[in-house]
């Protein structure tokens, strides 16, 4: 099949502008050097290496103590990866108090709770930190490659999938052994039916697909990968352990979700500048990959969340600082809540009753009543909060 390719100058401009508008923190999910034709697109990994905010004095002192024993993490607790503190903060959502901080690997940017364990992706050290909720002193460091950003748990297979931003691959971690047991490589090129697909892998450094977020099909057969380097959705056939044809995606992807009924994919992206600005949430038909609708949110859609029943959805506009609620499958707007410009991570509690919105630049997490769309608690003093997880 003939591949028409975008000029290197044009792709470098598009990817660079997408990254400039999508900063993890100042900006999860994102420079150029030399002449324009040789410009290297920036992404989540590059922004993570920017000078982080200063860790609050109290937090730094607490983290430095590194107690030999730590308390069990209760059900309902919010775990927040503090990028600038190399710690996982355990927060009581009702009071906003940080009960403890647990040391992780370098620059943690993602978090996931599954089967009584919390997994933290350390973007600065190529490691997953696994700690037991019942006994957080049980900490296991799992080497997974270069820069883990996307995390996804597959309960049927008992494995954790880890998207590696700088390796064009997804690593497989055995949840019982707490060790790397395999790696699935993504194809060299992404979605190839787009007019002038990008020549992604000839641009250095960090050439490749640049996976930033993962989602598992309800049937457990396909793993979806939102890729920043080729702004597409990779699809891994888990039985074959190989990628099949990719779907078109969004510039500056930050999150990908599967709707509870399994019919659609929801794709959030922050876009770039000019013609590459993204202000809509993209809803794709999961069978065909065709874009079923574009739902207006606001400038730079940094995250999305769905209720377990599929009767509600939410998204955040990073640059506008707004949380937007929608009604189920109709995607009719149900309300807006202004929080603060720079909000860049959104998480819903397992029951969908509570929303958590993090602003890594201000060190805050807003705890929001999902039904009333009101802030119930504001957690402050966090050291650049990135990924979040709620212990079931």
Model confidence band, residue 328 (pLDDT cutoffs 50, 70, 90): confident
Pair of tokens at residue 301:
């859609």
Domains of the chain: 8-390 (2.130.10.10)
Q: How far apart are CA 297 and CA 110, in angstroms?
A: 24
More confident residue, 239 or 25: 239
pLDDT digits (tens, 9 = 90+) for 43-73: 444 443 333 444 444 544 444 444 445 799 9
Distance of CA 22 to the CA centre of its chain: 12
Residue 341 pLDDT greater than 50, yes or no? yes
């500056």: which residue's tokens?
252
Say what the pTM is: 0.84
More confident residue, 10 or 122: 122
Q: How many CA atoms lie within 13 A of 219 on its CB side?
A: 10
The mean pLDDT value for 77-91 works out to: 98
Q: How far apart are CA 58 and CA 103, in angstroms?
A: 15
Q: How far apart are CA 92 and CA 343, in angstroms?
A: 20
Q: How far apart are CA 76 and CA 91, in angstroms?
A: 9
In the prediction, which pLDDT does 317 show? 98
pLDDT digits (tens, 9 = 90+) for 112-166: 999 999 999 999 989 999 999 999 999 999 999 889 999 999 999 999 999 999 8
pLDDT digits (tens, 9 = 90+) for 265-312: 999 999 977 668 899 999 999 999 999 999 999 999 999 999 999 999
Q: How far apart are CA 156 and CA 161, in angstroms?
A: 12
Backbone angles phi, psi at 12, to 5 degrees: -60, -35
**Positive/negative CA dihedral, 215, 220, 222, 223:** positive
pLDDT digits (tens, 9 = 90+) for 164-196: 998 899 999 999 999 999 999 999 888 877 765
Listed in sequence order, the residues at least 6 apart from 371 whose beta carbon sits closer than 8 Å to its beta carbon are: 353
CB 210 within 8 A of CB 227: yes
Q: How far apart are CA 313 and CA 328, in angstroms?
A: 6
How many CB atoms within 10 Å of residue 154? 17
């Amino acid at each position: 099949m003939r591949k028409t390719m975008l000029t290197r100058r044009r792709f470098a401009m598009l990817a660079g502008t997408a990254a400039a508008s999508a900063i993890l923190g100042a900006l999860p999910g994102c420079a150029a050097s030399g002449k324009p034709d040789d410009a290297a697109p920036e992404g989540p990994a590059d922004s993570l290496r920017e000078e982080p905010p200063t860790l609050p004095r109290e937090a730094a002192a607490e983290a430095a103590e590194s107690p030999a024993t730590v308390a069990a993490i209760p059900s309902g607790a919010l775990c927040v990866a503090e990028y600038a503190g190399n710690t996982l903060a355990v927060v009581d959502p009702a009071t906003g108090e940080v009960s403890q901080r647990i040391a992780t690997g370098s620059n943690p940017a993602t978090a996931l709770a599954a089967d009584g364990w919390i997994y933290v992706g350390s973007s600065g050290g190529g490691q997953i930190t696994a700690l037991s909720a019942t006994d957080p002193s049980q900490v296991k460091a799992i080497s997974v490659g270069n820069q883990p950003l996307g995390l996804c748990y597959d309960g049927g297979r008992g494995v954790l999938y880890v998207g590696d931003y700088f390796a064009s691959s997804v690593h497989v971690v055995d949840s019982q052994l707490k060790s790397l047991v395999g790696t699935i490589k993504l194809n060299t090129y992404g979605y190839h039916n787009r007019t002038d697909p990008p020549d992604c892998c000839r641009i250095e450094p960090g050439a490749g697909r640049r996976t930033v977020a993962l989602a598992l099909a309800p049937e457990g057969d396909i793993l979806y990968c939102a890729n920043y380097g080729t702004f597409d959705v990779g699809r891994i056939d888990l039985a074959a352990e190989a990628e099949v044809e990719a779907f078109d995606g969004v510039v500056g992807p930050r999150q990908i979700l599967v709707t509870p009924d399994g019919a659609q994919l929801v794709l959030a992206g922050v876009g770039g500048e000019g013609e590459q600005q993204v202000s809509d949430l993209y809803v794709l038909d999961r069978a065909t990959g065709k874009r079923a609708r574009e739902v207006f949110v606001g400038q730079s859609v940094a995250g999305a969340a769905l209720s377990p029943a599929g009767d509600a959805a939410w998204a955040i506009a990073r640059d506008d600082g707004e949380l937007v609620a929608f009604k189920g499958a109709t995607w009719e707007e149900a309300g807006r809540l202004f929080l603060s410009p720079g909000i860049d991570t959104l998480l819903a509690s397992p029951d969908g009753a509570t929303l958590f919105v993090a602003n890594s630049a201000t060190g805050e997490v807003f705890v929001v009543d999902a039904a009333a769309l009101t802030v119930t608690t504001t957690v402050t003093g966090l050291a650049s909060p990135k990924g979040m997880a709620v212990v079931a």
